[in-house]
């Protein structure tokens, strides 16, 4: 990663109905070396939302000033409000040794991968399309029209799964949490992450053999 | 992987003195879904060596016939004898669901990575150059001249570590075994390995949304 942080930046996306939120919650509850990224937004806080925990709340003017100062890993505007991932928070946590997890949709994930190729992209999915449909129906909170749109969106998103590094099936929440955890742990040993160690080893071997 | 096997092909290299052999032995003793590749050789069997376990023993003529028939993942000639990795054995084990581990030196690893880009390349190293030197000295079986040549070779090999996918430090044998195991498990979820699952998901989602 161009940023020298010791932690791994992991980006998790998934279909609506993949159970992303629950997996993220369990992961960060179980492993205290994992930290969830906190987004900034220009929308007003809702009752119970806490500054720096739910979101970093900003005015539109503050948010636009941050955009100009290149302070976001990625940002987007939805129905009149800005949402974005502040670099500062993520890099600080990584410097402290945390592996930082960003739950973010496909377009944002692709933007970050482009800027930071060593970030780890994981896509979550239920075991099959019927299960996805069943979960969306089972919520009982959305109209058939909304469910249809979500399924169409899933069909489009599926075409981009190959651009992620890993595909993890969420058939059982505990297994899924362990798979994601294992993938992040393994990434610490990738040669892309271990460039410092490799450079040190080359230097040491040259010095030592020079003296033999 | 261009070969449709369900298992992962893992290639393990490392400096002389990295403890590769011990790690491989422990790994395959502990996990029965891992299989070690068996090499073919044209050299004569030594006392105690078993056909199909230590090596597949071939005459020079048989070996050369196998080369012509493209039956090796890679092969090389050392001091008048051929050594090679028969495709047949590796692919059969992968089809049976085993993750196959090949312990092989750098040049062979690079040849296989070129032909099979989805294979997993792991490089093992002691924690630092002084430890490597200490292990080689500690064996007490080699002259200073031989140790010097091994260290020079290590300095050259270190320049190619970045061409591997993972660098695993062998500071503690049990930790090292678990790291390698975790990396192989995670590779099962890579999108490069899960192309069948991705294609199925795309097909199912299209069929299901088409009917809504």
pLDDT, residue A177, reads 97
Closest CA–CA distance from residue B111 to any residue of chain A (Å): 19
Fill in the DSSP letter of residue B51.
Answer: B
Contact B204 A129 (CB under 8 A): yes
Return the closest-CA partner of residue B102 out of B24, B182, B40. B24
Residues of chain A in contact with residue B8, where contact means CB-CB under 8 angstroms, are none
Q: How close does chain A come to B52, measured CA to CA in Å? A: 33
User: What is the Cα–Cα distance from B89 to B102, expressed in whole angstroms?
Assistant: 11
Contact A159 B202 (CB under 8 A): yes
Each residue's pLDDT tens digit, B180-209? 999 999 999 999 999 999 999 999 999 999
- pLDDT tens sequence for chain A (212 residues): 444 458 999 999 999 888 898 999 999 999 999 999 999 999 999 999 999 998 999 999 999 999 999 999 999 998 899 999 999 999 999 999 999 999 999 999 999 999 998 899 999 999 999 999 999 888 888 899 999 999 999 999 999 999 999 999 999 999 999 999 999 999 999 999 999 999 999 999 999 998 88
pLDDT higher at B34 or B4: B34
Burial B108-127 (b: 16+ CB within 10 A, else e): bbbbbbeebeebbbbbbbbe
All residues of chain A having their beta carbon less than 8 Å from the beta carbon of residue B153 are none
Q: How far does the CA of residue A176 sit from the closest CA of chain B (Å)?
A: 11
Q: Which residues of B touch A132 (CB under 8 A)?
A: 205
Could you tell me the sign of the dihedral formed by the alpha carbons of A104, A82, A6, A199, in that order?
A: positive
Residue from B17, B189, B190, B203 to probe the interface with A (highest A Cβ count within 10 Å)? B189
Q: How many residues are recorded in chain B?
A: 212
Return all residues near B18 (Cβ < 8 A) that are at least 6 apart.
Answer: B124, B125, B126, B132, B170
Tokens linked to B15: 């400096």
Instruction: State yes or no: ipTM above 0.95.
Output: no
Q: Which residue out of A155, A190, A199 would a mutagenesis test of the B interface target, given it has the greatest number of B Cβ atoms within 10 Å?
A: A155
Average pLDDT, chain B: 93
Residues 6+ apart with CB under 8 A from A95: A5, A6, A7
Query: At CA B186, angle to CA B25 and CA A105, rounded to 5?
Result: 170
pLDDT at B17 over 50: yes
| Residue B29 in this model has a pLDDT that exceeds 60 | yes
Q: What is the pLDDT of residue B141?
A: 83
Q: Average pLDDT of B37-58?
A: 94
| Out of A132, A166, A204, closest to residue B191 by CB | A166
Asked whether the beta carbons of residue B204 and residue A130 sit closer than 8 angstroms, the reply is yes
Query: Bigger pLDDT: B16 or B151?
Result: B151
> Rounded to an integer, what distance in angstroms lies between the CA atom of residue B163 and that of residue B179?
19
Query: Which of A111, A95, A82 shows the shortest CA–CA distance to A11?
Result: A111
Strands (E), A47-191: 56-57, 72-78, 81-86, 99-103, 120-125, 166-169
Based on C-alpha coordinates, what's the Rg of chain B? Answer: 20
Taking only the tens place, the pLDDT of each residue in B72-105 is 999 999 889 999 999 999 999 999 999 999 999 9
Q: Which two tokens stand for residue A12?
A: 């998790």
- Sorted by where each starts, the structural domains of chain B and their CATH numbers stand as 9-37+98-210 (3.40.50.300)
pLDDT for the residue numbered B211: 85
| B1 has pLDDT over 80 | no
Question: Does B154 contact A123 at a Cβ distance shorter than 8 Å?
Answer: no
Q: Across the interface, do A191 and B166 touch by the CB < 8 Å criterion?
A: yes
Cβ-based neighbours of A12, under 8 Å, separated by 6 or more:
A20, A23, A24, A101, A102, A103, A104, A122, A123, A124, A180
Work out the number of other CB atoms within 10 angstroms of the CB of residue B88: 14
């Amino acid at each position: 990663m161009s940023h020298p942080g010791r932690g791994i930046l992991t980006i998790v996306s998934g279909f609506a109905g993949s159970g992303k939120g629950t997996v993220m919650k369990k992961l960060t509850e179980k492993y205290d070396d994992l930290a969830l990224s906190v987004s900034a937004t220009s929308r007003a806080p809702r009752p119970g939302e806490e500054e720096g925990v739910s979101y970093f709340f900003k005015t539109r003017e503050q948010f636009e000033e941050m955009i100009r100062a290149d302070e976001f890993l990625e940002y987007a505007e939805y129905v009149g409000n800005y949402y974005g991932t502040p670099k500062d928070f993520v890099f600080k946590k990584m410097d402290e040794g945390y592996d930082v997890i960003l739950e973010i949709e496909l377009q944002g994930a692709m933007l970050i991968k482009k800027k930071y190729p060593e970030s780890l992209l994981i896509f979550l999915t239920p075991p099959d399309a019927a299960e996805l449909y069943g979960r969306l129906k089972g919520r009982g909170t959305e109209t058939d029209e909304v469910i249809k749109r979500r399924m169409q969106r899933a069909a489009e998103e599926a075409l981009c799964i190959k651009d992620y590094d890993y595909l993890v099936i969420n058939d059982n929440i505990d297994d899924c949490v362990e798979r994601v955890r294992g993938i992040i742990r393994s990434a610490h040993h990738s040669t892309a992450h271990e460039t410092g160690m490799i450079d040190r080893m080359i230097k040491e071997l040259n010095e030592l053999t020079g003296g033999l």
